[in-house]
Amino acid sequence: MNLNATLFAQFVVFFILAWFTMKFVWPPIVKALDERAKKVADGLAAADKAKTDLALAEKRVVEELRKARESATDVRATAEKQAAILIEEARTEAARIVAAARTAAEQEAGAAMQKAKEGLRDQVAQLAVVGAERILRKEINAEVHSDLLANLKQEL
Amino acid sequence: MATGHEVQAPTAGEYINHHLTHLNQTGHPQQNIVDWSLINIDTMFWSITIGVITLFFLWRAASKATSGVPGRFQAAVEIIVEMVADQAKGIVHSAESRKFVAPLALTVFVWIFMMNAMDLLPLDLLPTLFQLATGNSHAYMRIVPTADLNATLGMSIGVLTICLWYNIKIKGFGGWVHELFAAPFGDKWFLYPVNFMMQLIEFAAKTISHGMRLFGNMYAGELVFMLIALMGAAWGTAGVAGPLLFVGHVLAGSAWAIFHILIITLQAFIFMMLTLVYVGQAHESH
């Protein structure tokens, strides 16, 4: 354990090695470490963001489903209402047509009855005249009594 | 071995002394406690070689570093870098200073760990290979640079220099000189000498204990390995107890080596932490 010039040499070597480390060893390694730390931090942040996004998307899906269900219900209600209206309209129309047909038939029947009545009336008048003629062949002049006969016919 | 040519086996004392002697440019052991004309070639060679190899691997990891999925090697380097960066962040509060101090702490930790780990290689392996290569069976070679006080004190004085630099940079030269005389006891003229003495002692104690702690641990660790090696080496001379010594060598060597893994890591960590703490203190005003 004697002291000699080795001490000074070692002093110099010490600084040269430290300088080398400072210049060529330390900065690249620390840079790589820092970059990796940043990458990891970024990755974690991205994962967090993705999680939030997923939750948002799920919420939106639920919302959209609800909307779709609602609008389907609306559509069905409208369709049912429209169908009811159509049925109602058809029913009204049918009733109207039936009524019209009945009225027309009744009118026709009335007219036919009138006609028949008149025909009958004529025939009865003629029969009456014929009867009267047969009864009063001689004394009654058809022409003289035609006014009378016409009045009679009118009264029937 | 009755060839008659073998070298007389060294005594235990000679063996340990030989292993604790550095190879300097003269090839002879240093005679004086302090001799600035000598330089320990083995310490310089191993510390620079280990430093260059270590930094080469770190540099490779750094130049291929990707912010994507890291490979195993990159991940391993990143664990160390993160650990050092966290410690630096907790102790040195100036982000500007950390740009230099944190890499410095990383260098200190990895480099010292690798130098300490040389202790785990078989004690005589590299020195024997060196002796064979040079053809000098008495050549000195110590392979653990941190078991050389020059190396550890060189580094701790480097840390001291950095502390002084940051003291002046953060507080200004005037502010620092004022602190030298006004702290820790107070800004009174009659306290200036005491304060200044305290500051000098503080800086000296920090630096010397910083270097001595690492040196002491590694030196003692090496010494224990030598003692274990001596125990094993004595098995041929111990008669009946010989096999026991051999088993003892294996057991004690394994146990100490496993325990030493903790020590070399801990000492590297402590040196790094104290470096950060001392630099952090340089940023704080009293």
Secondary structure (DSSP) of B115-143: HHHGGGS-TTHHHHHHHHHHT-TT-----
**Least confident window among A83-97, B129-143, B198-212:** B129-143
Whole-number CA gyration radius for chain A = 62
Token reading at A94? 């049918």
Report pLDDT for B184: 83
Q: Is residue B241 predicted with pLDDT exceeding 80?
A: no
The answer to whether the beta carbons of residues B18 and B140 sit under 8 Å apart is yes
Give, as one character, the DSSP assignment of residue B26: T
Measured CA to CA, the distance from residue B253 to residue B227 in angstroms comes to 10
B90 to chain A, minimum CA–CA distance in Å? 17
Model confidence at A154, pLDDT cuts 50, 70, 90, reads confident
Q: Which of residues 162-221 of B touch A (CB under 8 A)?
A: 215, 219
Across the range B197-202, mean pLDDT stands at 93
Model confidence at B1, pLDDT cuts 50, 70, 90, reads very low
Q: What residues have CB less than 8 Å from A29, skipping those under 6 apart?
A: B61, B62, B65, B77, B78, B81
CB-neighbour burial class of residue B120 (10 A; exposed 0-12, middle 13-18, buried 19+): middle
| Secondary structure of B199-261 as H, E, C letters | HHHHHHHHHHHHHHHHHHHHHHHHHHHHHHHHHHHHHHCCHHHHHHHHHHHHHHHHHHHHHHH
Task: Say yes or no for a CB contact (<8 Å) between B39 and A35.
Answer: no
Token reading at B228? 């274990």
A42 to chain B, minimum CA–CA distance in Å? 13
Q: Which residues of A touch B (CB under 8 A)?
A: 1-11, 13-15, 17-18, 20-22, 24-36, 39
Q: Which of residues 85-114 of B touch A (CB under 8 A)?
A: 85, 99-100, 102-104, 106-108, 111
Q: What residues have CB less than 8 Å from B252, skipping those under 6 apart?
A: B228, B231
Q: What are phi and psi of A3, to 5 degrees?
A: -90, 140
How many Cα atoms within 13 Å fall on the side-chain side of residue B180? 14
Q: Is residue B154 predicted with pLDDT exceeding 60?
A: yes
Q: What residues have CB less than 8 Å from B210, skipping those under 6 apart?
A: B152, B156, B159, B271, B274, B275, B278
Report pLDDT for B27: 82
Whole-number CA gyration radius for chain B = 23
Q: Is residue A135 predicted with pLDDT exceeding 90?
A: no
Model confidence at B4, pLDDT cuts 50, 70, 90, reads very low
The rounded mean pLDDT for chain B is: 89
Domain boundaries, chain A: 3-155
Task: Say yes or no for a CB contact (<8 Å) between A32 and B107.
Answer: no
- CA B30 from chain centre, in angstroms, equals 21
Q: Which residue would you say has higher pLDDT here, B185 or A70?
A: A70
B237 to chain A, minimum CA–CA distance in Å? 32
Of the candidates B264, B237, B274, the residue with the CA atom closest to the CA atom of residue B110: B264
Across the range A41-51, mean pLDDT stands at 95
The answer to whether the beta carbons of residues B199 and B256 sit under 8 Å apart is no
Helix, strand or coil, per DSSP, at residue B40: strand
Q: What is the pLDDT of residues A117-129, one digit of tens each?
A: 998 988 888 888 8
Respond yes or no on whether ipTM tops 0.90: no
The catalytic site residues of B sit at: 209, 213, 217
Find the helix or strand (DSSP H, E) in which A76 lies.
Answer: helix A26-135
Q: Which residues of A touch B215 (CB under 8 A)?
A: 1
Across the range A72-94, mean pLDDT stands at 95
Report pLDDT for B2: 39
Q: Is residue A11 predicted with pLDDT exceeding 60?
A: yes
Measured CA to CA, the distance from residue A80 to residue A65 in angstroms comes to 23
Model confidence at A150, pLDDT cuts 50, 70, 90, reads confident
Strands B34-35 and A3-4: parallel
Token reading at B125? 């392996």
Q: What is the pLDDT of residues B39-61, one digit of tens each?
A: 999 999 999 999 999 999 999 99
Find the helix or strand (DSSP H, E) in which B35 lies.
Answer: strand B34-35
The answer to whether the beta carbons of residues B182 and B189 sit under 8 Å apart is no
Q: Is residue B11 predicted with pLDDT exceeding 70?
A: yes
The rounded mean pLDDT for chain A is: 90
Q: Is residue B251 predicted with pLDDT exceeding 50?
A: yes
Longest dimension (CA), chain B: 80
Task: Say yes or no for a CB contact (<8 Å) between A4 and B63.
Answer: no
Helix, strand or coil, per DSSP, at residue B29: coil
Query: B29 preceded by cis ω (within 30°)?
Result: no
A73 to chain B, minimum CA–CA distance in Å? 56
**Least confident window among A68-72, A89-93, A135-139, B147-151:** A135-139
Task: Say yes or no for a CB contact (<8 Å) between B78 and A29.
Answer: yes
**A1, A22, A24, A40: best to mutate for the B interface, most B CBs within 10 A:** A1
